[in-house]
C-alpha cells in the first residue's frame, strides 16, 4: 500500500490531536455534570470521551499501517465550566460540527491526492460517524431545550442519560 502523502500525514496527526482534545473536552464536561449532581449526564459524557479516544486510535493505526510516523501534538486545556447543561451541549454540538469540518478537509485532501486507501479505509467511516455524532448530541440538546428550566424534566433526562452504554467499535483495531 502506498505511503501517506506528507500533507495527509500532517493532517491525520492533527486529527489525532483533535480527537484526543475531544475526549478531554467530554471528560471535562463529565466532571462538570458530576459536580453539578447530574451523574447521568456525567456518564453520557464519559462514554462520549471514551468513544473519542477510539477515534484517535483509528487514525493512529491507519498512519502506522501506511508506514507513516505518528507525531502526537500538545493537547490544550478545555473549558471547565458552563452556565447550564444546555450551554454545555451547545458547546458539544459546536465542537462536533468543527470535527465534521476537519473530517471533510481530510476527505478533500485524500480525494485531491487520489488516496483511495485513506478515503475508503478510514474517512468514509468517519463521514458517517460524524453524522451520528451530530445527531446524538443534537437530540440531547433538543430535549434540554424542550424541558427548559423544568427541574423534574432535567431529573428525568439525567436518568435517561445514565442508560448510555459504551461498546468498543469492532472497526477500531488496537
Question: What confidence score (pLDDT) does residue 5 get?
Answer: 96
> Residue 36's CB: how many other CB atoms inside 10 A?
16
What Rg value do the Cα atoms of the chain yield, rounded?
A: 17
Task: Report H helices in the chain.
Answer: 6-35, 39-65, 85-112, 116-118, 124-147, 151-161
Residue-wise pLDDT for 16-54, tens only, equals: 999 999 999 999 999 999 999 999 999 999 999 999 999
Residues 50-93 have pLDDT tens digits of 999 999 999 999 999 999 999 999 999 999 999 999 999 999 99
pLDDT of residue 171: 61
Cell of 100: 465534521
Q: The cell 467499535 sits on which residue? A: 169
Domains and CATH numbers, the chain: 6-161 (1.20.1260.10)
Amino acid at each position: 500500500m502506498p505511503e501517506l502523502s506528507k500533507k495527509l500525514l500532517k493532517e491525520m496527526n492533527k486529527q489525532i490531536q483533535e480527537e484526543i482534545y475531544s475526549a478531554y473536552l467530554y471528560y471535562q464536561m463529565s466532571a462538570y455534570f458530576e459536580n453539578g449532581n447530574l451523574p447521568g449526564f456525567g456518564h453520557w459524557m464519559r462514554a462520549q470521551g471514551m468513544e473519542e479516544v477510539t477515534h484517535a486510535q483509528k487514525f493512529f493505526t491507519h498512519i502506522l499501517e501506511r508506514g507513516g510516523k505518528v507525531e502526537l501534538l500538545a493537547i490544550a486545556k478545555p473549558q471547565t465550566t458552563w452556565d447550564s447543561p444546555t450551554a454545555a451541549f451547545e458547546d458539544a454540538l459546536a465542537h462536533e460540527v468543527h470535527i465534521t469540518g476537519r473530517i471533510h478537509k481530510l476527505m478533500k485532501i485524500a480525494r485531491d491526492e487520489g488516496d483511495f486507501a485513506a478515503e475508503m479505509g478510514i474517512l468514509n467511516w468517519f463521514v458517517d460517524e460524524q453524522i451520528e455524532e451530530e445527531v446524538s448530541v443534537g437530540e440531547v440538546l433538543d430535549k434540554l431545550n424542550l424541558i427548559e428550566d423544568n427541574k423534574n424534566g432535567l431529573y428525568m433526562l439525567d436518568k435517561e442519560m445514565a442508560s448510555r452504554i459504551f461498546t468498543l467499535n469492532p472497526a477500531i483495531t488496537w
